[in-house]
């Protein structure tokens, strides 16, 4: 391995193994497969150990990553938005793979015969845009019946990921109203929601993997109860630890936020399903 005095990427003077200007490693000799695999191994286990140093606090320490971020200790952890994207992609990929495995066995026999007259009777109560969307909804009905709704389900899952980019900022605005004294920045609420949603995606991914091969319904029900308890407790504790308010005041705000989240979430799901069907 040969070290140069200037960075091959930006021509800045080097004072160590990494460029202080762009961060590139000073080693430019990457001609062997062994060298390439060594760099890849280091990236996964050492250089980017932030992945492994982030997942455990995300799972076990509510609100910890949000507090660390605003305390200025950020380089040792994955950036919040990057963490959210990784966990959401992991969740949706596992949902598609594991859901496809469950449905593959009976997909051929579960498909209902296409009945055009059923889709011809589709109506809508919308007073605005009904004539524009009704033909698309009828066509979507025929498409859904043709493949037992597989394409529609994939489209809904894909669009939910997009809808969350609108949903999270709206929930952060609601949290700013709940925590108006003492005054806090909007970004604090948004980052807490981003970290909590990243936790939910990771936690549900682990639950899906844990229950996928379990055939005992009683054991699955028990795991569901334990997971639900841990999920609710984690979200409540994250609010209490980040904002530092009393237990009962936090519980009240947690209940208000939960109700608003449920109402807005149901509306988001219906809007996403309607949009997915109309654009199928």
Structure tokens at 224: 């569901």
- Supply the pLDDT for residue 131: 53
What span, in angstroms and rounded, lies between the C-alpha atoms of 97 and 66? 31
Structure tokens at 112: 């209902």
Is residue 222 within 8 Å of 257, Cβ to Cβ?
A: no
Domains of the chain, by residue range, sit at 1-48, 52-103+147-278
Q: Is the dihedral of CA 193, 196, 200, 202 positive or negative?
A: positive
What span, in angstroms and rounded, lies between the C-alpha atoms of 164 and 55? 21
Is it the case that residue 76 has pLDDT exceeding 50? yes
What span, in angstroms and rounded, lies between the C-alpha atoms of 211 and 193? 26
What totals of helices (H) and strands (E) does the chain contain, helices first? 11, 0
- Supply the pLDDT for residue 119: 65
- Local confidence band at 3 (pLDDT 50, 70, 90 cut-offs): low
- Local confidence band at 47 (pLDDT 50, 70, 90 cut-offs): very low
Distances (CA, A) of 114 to 110, 141, 229, 279: 12, 10, 43, 20
Give tens-digit pLDDT for 113-162: 445 556 665 565 555 545 556 666 666 777 677 666 677 777 777 788 78
């Amino acid at each position: 391995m040969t070290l140069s005095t200037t960075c091959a990427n930006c021509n800045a003077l080097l004072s160590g193994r990494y460029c202080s200007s762009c961060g590139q490693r000073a080693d430019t000799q990457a001609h062997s497969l062994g060298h390439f695999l060594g760099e890849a191994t280091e990236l996964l286990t050492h250089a980017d150990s932030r992945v492994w140093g982030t997942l455990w606090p995300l799972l076990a320490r509510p609100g910890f990553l949000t507090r660390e971020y605003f305390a200025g200790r950020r380089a040792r952890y994955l950036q919040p938005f990057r963490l959210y994207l990784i966990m959401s992609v992991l969740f949706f990929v596992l949902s598609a793979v594991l859901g496809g495995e469950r449905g593959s066995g009976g997909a051929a026999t579960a498909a209902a015969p296409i009945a055009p007259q059923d889709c011809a009777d589709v109506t809508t109560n919308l007073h605005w845009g009904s004539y524009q969307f009704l033909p698309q909804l009828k066509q979507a009905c025929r498409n859904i019946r043709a493949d037992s709704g597989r394409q529609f389900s994939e489209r809904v899952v894909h669009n939910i990921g997009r809808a969350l980019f609108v949903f999270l900022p709206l929930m952060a605005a609601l949290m700013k109203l709940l925590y108006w004294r003492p005054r806090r920045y909007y970004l604090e609420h948004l980052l807490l929601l981003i970290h909590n949603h990243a936790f939910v995606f990771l936690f549900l991914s682990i639950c899906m993997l844990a229950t996928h091969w379990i055939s005992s319904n009683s054991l699955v029900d028990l795991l569901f109860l334990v997971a639900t308890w841990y999920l609710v407790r984690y979200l409540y504790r994250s609010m209490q630890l980040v904002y530092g308010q009393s237990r009962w005041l936090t519980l009240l705000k947690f209940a208000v936020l939960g109700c608003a989240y449920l109402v807005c979430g149901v509306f988001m799901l219906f809007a996403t399903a309607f949009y997915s069907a109309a654009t199928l």
